[in-house]
């Protein structure tokens, strides 16, 4: 939730009942213990925490080739076809994104050649959450872009009690190795390495508070994609908005988790009132109302703004993970927005399409992180590294100012390194 000042001219038709920022101290302490034990004890600690937290007694963590094939064989044919449809869309978009990442070499001055290369990461760990439901899209979003990027080895970890279809999803998405390990112990195993799990260079994928905290604590020696909070959806709507559609989309996201943050930002008092009533009406028949209803009560909001400029200002302040635009000129309005995770322009573009299968990634920044970063994409798995080389003219160009700068800073070793090359050329 943003800590920046809220525009004074807005009116909360429905304000959130709770602050999305919770006390994390107990989680921090437990995760620190998990990381320390996995570092010291390896598989034994992972096995202990799997029994303790997931009620799973496992002698072997890795899913065998036979188990992968069996899970695939038992996958419902239509589910497999839909999964492959999503994989193909995500792959196509990732390949197109990869095509925009050019390498570079330029002679910036006579004899001074600078450049950069895009190098895929060597080994990546993808955390695949179990969650309340078997989210078959989860492995697709993290594993497929990694394979498109050219990552040498992709490790997938998912909770031992995850639906078997999730194993099939990891397999179809291209995971090189799959492990039945969940929670903070999975992050610890991938970050630190154990007898069974090789250490990775970067960990991606969303998870619960313990997974998120584990990623935060291991960041540094190991890279991470982002720290993901509870899911979010906000919708920007003017007088043309449809209350039924708005309520449907808000509740669709709210059923993810009781801490999901959902909101409508509108210039229409009539639409605000109609949407408020429509949410209550739909909750009466929604099968996931226990989860969605609590999320709406605790974190739902409807904000009335006096004009379009205030709508944009408040939206950019929130920097929502998912941001839908339901206005008369949706494409024109969208161009004025700056901060969000992913944008859904017009009433035909629903978050659910991106969540499942249309091709854009659903692992996105939350809790205001959209103000400084985007979501998971093929570039997440690539490091852009620079290089330089010089001919004699280049040394004549840069050595004299480098010598002078080094001397003015009192760094004699630096001055000597620059001067040595110049002296040898002049000799």
Residues annotated catalytic, as ranges: 321-322
| Nearest CA among 321, 314, 341, 347 for reference residue 248 | 347
Distance CA 153, CA 65 (A): 16
| Nearest CA among 248, 249, 188 for reference residue 222 | 188
3-state helix, strand, coil in the chain (%, to 5): 50, 20, 35
The strand pairing partners of 389, in sequence order, are 113
Q: How far is CA 53 from the centre of its chain?
A: 25
Q: What is the DSSP string of 91-150?
A: HHHHHHHHHT---EEEEEETTEEEEEEEEE-SEEEEE---TTTT-THHHHHHHHHHHHHT
Distances (CA, A) of 128 to 8, 134, 261, 280, 374: 41, 10, 22, 33, 20
The strand pairing partners of 388, in sequence order, are 114
| Nearest CA among 395, 391, 394, 419 for reference residue 405 | 419
The strand pairing partners of 219, in sequence order, are 222
Supply φ then ψ for residue 191, to 5 degrees. Answer: -75, -40
3-state SS track over 303-352: EECCCHHHHHHHHHHHCCCEEEEECCCHHHHHCCCCCCCEEEECCCCCHH
Tell me the two tokens of residue 15: 């304000």
Helices 25-41/43-54 angle, 10° precision: 140
Tell me the two tokens of residue 365: 């920044």
């Amino acid at each position: 939730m943003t800590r920046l000042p809220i525009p004074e001219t807005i009116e909360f038709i429905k304000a959130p009942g709770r602050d999305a920022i919770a006390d994390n101290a107990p989680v921090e302490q437990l995760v620190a213990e998990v990381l320390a034990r996995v570092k010291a004890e390896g598989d034994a600690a992972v096995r202990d925490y799997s029994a303790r937290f997931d009620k799973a007694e496992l002698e072997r963590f890795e899913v065998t080739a036979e188990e992968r094939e069996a899970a695939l064989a038992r996958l419902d044919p239509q589910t497999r076809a839909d999964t492959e449809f999503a994989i193909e869309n995500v792959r196509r978009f990732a390949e197109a994104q990869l095509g925009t990442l050019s390498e570079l070499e330029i002679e910036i001055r006579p004899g001074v050649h600078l450049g950069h290369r895009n190098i895929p990461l060597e080994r990546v760990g993808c955390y695949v959450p179990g969650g309340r439901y078997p989210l078959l899209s989860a492995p697709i979003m993290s594993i497929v872009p990694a394979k498109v990027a050219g990552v040498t080895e992709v490790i997938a970890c998912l909770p031992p009690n995850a639906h078997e279809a999730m194993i099939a999803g990891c397999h179809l998405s291209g995971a090189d190795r799959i492990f039945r390990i969940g929670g903070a112990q999975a992050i610890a195993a991938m970050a630190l390495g154990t007898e069974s799990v090789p250490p990775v260079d970067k960990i991606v994928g969303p998870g619960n508070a313990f997974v998120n905290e584990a990623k935060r604590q291991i960041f540094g020696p190991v890279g991470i994609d982002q720290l993901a909070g509870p899911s979010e959806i906000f919708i920007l709507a003017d007088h043309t908005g449809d209350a039924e559609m708005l309520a449907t989309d808000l509740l669709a996201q709210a059923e993810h988790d009781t801490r999901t943050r959902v909101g409508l930002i509108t210039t229409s008092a009539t639409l605000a009132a109609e949407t408020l009533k429509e949410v209550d009406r739909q909750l009466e028949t929604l099968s996931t109302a226990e989860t969605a209803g609590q999320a709406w009560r605790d974190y739902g909001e409807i904000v009335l703004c006096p004009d379009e400029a205030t709508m944009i200002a408040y939206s950019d302040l929130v920097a929502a993970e998912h941001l839908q635009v339901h206005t008369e000129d949706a494409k024109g309005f969208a161009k004025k927005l700056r901060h969000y995770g992913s944008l859904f322009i017009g009433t035909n573009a629903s978050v659910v399409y991106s969540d499942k299968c249309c091709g854009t990634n659903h692992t996105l920044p939350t809790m205001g992180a959209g103000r400084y970063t985007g979501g998971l994409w093929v570039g997440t798995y690539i490091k852009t590294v620079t290089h330089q080389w010089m001919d004699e003219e280049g040394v004549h160009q840069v050595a004299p100012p480098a010598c002078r700068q080094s001397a003015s800073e009192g760094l004699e070793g630096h001055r000597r390194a620059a001067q040595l090359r110049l002296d040898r050329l002049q000799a």
